[in-house]
A and B are shown apart, each in its own frame.
Chain A
Amino acid sequence: MAVWERDRVLALSPDPASTAAARRLAAPAHWSSTGSTARALWGLCQGSGQRPYQTVVDLGAEPAYACTCPSRKSPCKHALALLMLWTAGGVPTVETETGFAADWLRGRQQRAKPPAARTDGTVADPEAAARRVAARAERVSSGLDDLERWLRDQVQGGLAGVERAGYAHFDRVAARMVDAQAPGVASMLRAIPAELAADGWPARVLERLAALHVLIQAHRRLDALPAELAANVRSRVGYPVTKAEVLASAGVRDYWIALGSVDTIEYQLETRRVWLYGTRTGRWALWLAFAAPGMSLDTSVLPGQLLNADLHFYPGSGFRAMVGEQHDADDGITALPSETFGQVGERLAALLASDPWASRLPAIVNATPVPPVTASGTWRLRDELGQCVEVVGLPGDPWVLLARSGGRPTAIFGEWSDAGFRPLSLLPDALGTAFTTALVA
């Protein structure tokens, strides 16, 4: 098992306080009886209590953590610190797990059960399934008909009242869409109130209502649409696709590099989207993880990670995929091809032709950061042809971009949208710089 990159470990942290606490513990002086194998790490960490905490990390495809400390966070600061110590070469490698580590791993193995659901995408009772599908389609159609009437009412009566009405105005109709089994449409509605806070909101709200209008028209003509567009419409409305169905489709095998991720929270549901790039196929993929309140996000795919794997894509022209079979992977990220802003824009235009509701695109650009002239100005990126876009949605410090680039083009991965470019990570370049997600940390 190759030792993980430091950024991969830092990305596991549930919050900045855990990172800070882990950094303080990531020194040999705090640990004893440490060891590592290809499968796991373990050690004893002296805390404030009499007995040291026993910490184990399972390094498998879906990392897992165990610690006798009272923290409910996962991973706790001790597990994080142990991982940091390991990446710094502070945990010795041994042949086999022993003691509390071996006991925990054995118990974990015994608790893992094979999945009960079918894995080949088939259903037990095709007739019953067909009836359910028809009933769902009827509910969705009825719900979308109601939504169309609501959309027309908004435009007839005027959007001026929407600003005062706020979130509740959209929540009510979104709830109706959830009842109609169109959760994708509900999400599109719930995203609209966020536009009300900014200047020029009437134009943006009108565009979002128009996008819903087009989706409804497309859904009415679903059977007449080209297959890919029809799949995109179903996806946008929120028709479910089971994991088994996705995994039953042909996989795309490649060396996939996870280049960046974004965490969002919508109605208490935490979502992580991780972008992957296929280094042989040049194909992009999006891996999604979800966590309900109190649960932790799946961390089996993190920025900086290289997967030699089969990815199975969801129907449509979107990027969403599931990780199937994995194979042995090499380590490290090497130079990746970049695009100009013009090329990325053209790629978005092509995507919109098959998915008019797409709003973002992953891209690697070789660009120079341009700091604002005034303190309140916006950062921009300049590509090698001299074309510029605004930097948007950057939670981290944009000055890191300038420090890293030295005023020269530097490989940046991020999301492209009509608002601008959102940098998510900095890639290795000719100077031998390391991959980093410091922009979003």
Chain B
Amino acid sequence: MSGWDELVTTALLGTDRRPLSPELGPGWASYDPERATRDPAGVVLDLAASHRALRQAGVRLGRETPAEPGPTERLPLAPNRAQDVMAGLLTKPEPGLINLWLSICAERGLGLATELWPRLAQLASRNTAYDRTALLAVLGPPGGWFLRHNPAWARLAEASGAPAMPPPTDPSAVGDAVRAGASPAQAMELILTCADPLPLPLVTAALRIIAGGMLGPQTRDAARSLSHRIPVDVWTELPAALTTDGLSDTTPATPTPATATSPIVQLSLAVIHRTVQARIEIEDAFRTPTRETTP
């Protein structure tokens, strides 16, 4: 037992039960045995104080060999406003919006502030809905190096392009299907498989299907999917009645139990409205001046 362990044990048990050892070992100052008999607690406190001072003043440093550093090249950063928008998105993550941010940032060859890398890596490692290719692009050359340091994120560094998608539906096929008697659900499915950007007539039709409550329980999922597909410039061309939060005067093409005033329809339209507004905000944020400095 070291001198310090001896002292602590004495204090733990109490000097009434365990007398202080006469010799604490090398490095410890000797003390008056008569005082230790007369005032053992005082001697323990004095010795502990000496130990404390020496320990604090003589902190031992470890040694470490350096690891391989990452690439030095960095991307120019996205504008401050865009970084703020991403920070806000990360507090309530939605893959569609985050992917939009990442794709715009990647298209412009800009980078994400390093303060946000860990949070985004954590999200992307747990949910395949996040665009890992775009994520790698906005982290820039050091991104792969960074991700490989955390076993939970390492596979993100191997992301290799978007998965192959089936060929998109021709927009004219939607009209053909409707004329042939396709149901609103079939029409909506066809609309959502058309390529981007969705033209105004298809967006209008999709919104009318949702507002008319023609999809029943599938309304909300369809609204969520559609909200990420409506081009921002098309949104501003839509009739006001279709773009307000909570539609009021759309006439369903086909009567259904669910109407424009049903909660699921109201909620779904609100989701579309909020998501499109968020997308507008993201695109606006990238129009502000780019940061001068690199991360």
Contacts and interface: CB of A to CB of B under 8 A. Distances in A.
A89 interface: yes
Contact of B80 (A87, A341, A389, A399): A87
B293 A23 contact: no
B28 interface: no
B115 interface: yes
A388 B64 contact: yes
A51 B293 CA distance: 40
Given A23-B87, A152-B41, A152-B42, A160 B117 contact: no
Interface in A348-390: 348-349, 352, 356, 359, 368, 370-371, 375, 380, 382, 386-389
B281 to A, nearest CB: 6
Contacts of A400: 114-115, 117-118
A371 B92 CA distance: 27
Nearest to B52: A207
Contacts of A407: 67-70, 145
B69 A406 contact: yes
A214 interface: yes
A101 B59 CA distance: 55
A336 interface: no
Interface in A208-261: 209-211, 213-214
B182 interface: no
Given A418-B56, A433-B294, A404 B49 contact: no
A294 interface: no
B85 interface: yes
Interface string B76-118: 0001110011011001100000000000000000000011011
Contacts of B117: 399-400, 403
B48 A158 contact: no
Contacts of A436: 115
Contact of A349 (B58, B68, B152, B281): B58
Given A202-B11, A400-B114, A406 B84 contact: no
Given A156-B15, A206-B11, A406 B57 contact: no
Contact size range, A: 35 or more
Given A158-B16, A206-B8, A434-B293, A389 B114 contact: no
Interface string B1-34: 0001001100111111100000000000000000
A20 B53 CA distance: 45
Contact of A202 (B12, B49, B57): B12
A345 B61 contact: yes
A216 B227 CA distance: 70
B294 A156 contact: no
A36 B246 CA distance: 37
A85 to B, nearest CB: 9
Contacts of B17: 158
Interface string A106-138: 000000000000000000000000000000000
Contacts of A211: 49, 52
A403 B146 contact: yes
Contacts of B62: 380, 387-389
B288 interface: yes
A203 interface: yes
Nearest to A400: B115
B12 A210 contact: no
A107 B62 CA distance: 59
Given A6-B84, A155-B15, A213-B49, 19 more contacts: A84-B84, A87-B80, A88-B288, A152-B41, A155-B40, A158-B12, A160-B12, A203-B4, A210-B46, A213-B42, A342-B61, A348-B56, A348-B57, A349-B57, A370-B67, A375-B151, A380-B62, A404-B115, A407-B70
Interface of B: 4, 7-8, 11-17, 39-42, 44-46, 48-49, 51-53, 55-59, 61-72, 74, 79-81, 84-85, 87-88, 91-92, 114-115, 117-119, 121, 142, 145-146, 149-152, 281, 284, 288-289, 293-295
Q: Which 8 A-B pairs have the closest CB atoms?
A: A158-B14, A407-B69, A210-B48, A438-B115, A399-B118, A349-B57, A403-B114, A155-B41
10 contacts: A20-B92, A152-B41, A159-B14, A213-B49, A348-B56, A352-B57, A386-B64, A388-B64, A402-B149, A406-B71
